[in-house]
Amino acid sequence: MTFAVVATLAVLSALGAFGERDLRIGTEDVPADIGVPIDRLDLEPQPGAVWEGAELAIGPVVEVARGSADGSPFAFTVYRAASPSDVCLQVEEAVDRGISCGAMPGEGPSGGAFGVGAWRLGSNPSVVFGLVAPNVAEVRIETAAGGMTRAQMVSLAPADVDALLFFGFLPGATESSAWVALDADGNEIDRLEAPAPQPEPSGPVPTAADQAPAP
């Protein structure tokens, strides 16, 4: 079976925060849950493997979660990367796979509850995943269409990573627009908005000959 990193994978090496907030999320403020249910979820840690060409590991490589969403199997593998402040998240689905390597929560330029992650991988269903600080009780993945899904939270202690993995599945081509971290009382700790889409370059693409210095 051939796997490829799909173009929709966004690698976020330094996710920031906007400061802690004292905001109570009441039930009337919670959008409808449109997430795809996870079946046969298994969180028993198992030995994992670093993909060929990926960053080298400096500690244990652990498959921390596996299951299926809408009949499509998935598995997550986590490890600390050769750069001391980096961590890598590998996700493998039935026909796609992707990897994000980057900052731990609090170690990016802006600090905050969130670390490296990806806003969308795959097409049906699409998976959204990332790292969050261990004091976070719940992560809600909001969508551009107004719905959300409550993320599955997984301890990464078996991989010597002081953070939690969060992930959720969205139907079809639904895009995630924000990640919201809540404490055990439902107070908002942090919120991260999706990066603005990059505009497509206009006009002809310059070739090597175009960029060569004039004789």
Count CB neighbours of 174 within 10 A.
Answer: 22
Residue 165: the pLDDT is 98
Indicate the pLDDT class of residue 1, thresholds 50, 70 and 90. Answer: very low
Residue 17: the pLDDT is 32
**Upstream peptide bond of 125 is cis (omega within 30 degrees of 0):** yes
pLDDT tens, position by position, 105-146: 988 766 799 999 998 887 778 899 999 999 999 999 999 888
| Alpha carbons 206 and 189: distance in angstroms, whole number | 45
Sheet order of strands, 126-132 included: 114-121, 126-132, 164-170, 152-155
Residue 201: the pLDDT is 54
Backbone angles phi, psi at 208, to 5 degrees: -60, -35
pLDDT at 7 exceeding the cut of 50: no
Q: Is residue 25 within 8 Å of 135, Cβ to Cβ?
A: no
pTM, rounded to two decimals:
0.78
pLDDT at 21 exceeding the cut of 60: no
Mean pLDDT calculated for residue range 51-77: 94
Residue 111: the pLDDT is 75
Q: What percent of the chain has pLDDT above 70?
A: 75
pLDDT at 203 exceeding the cut of 90: no
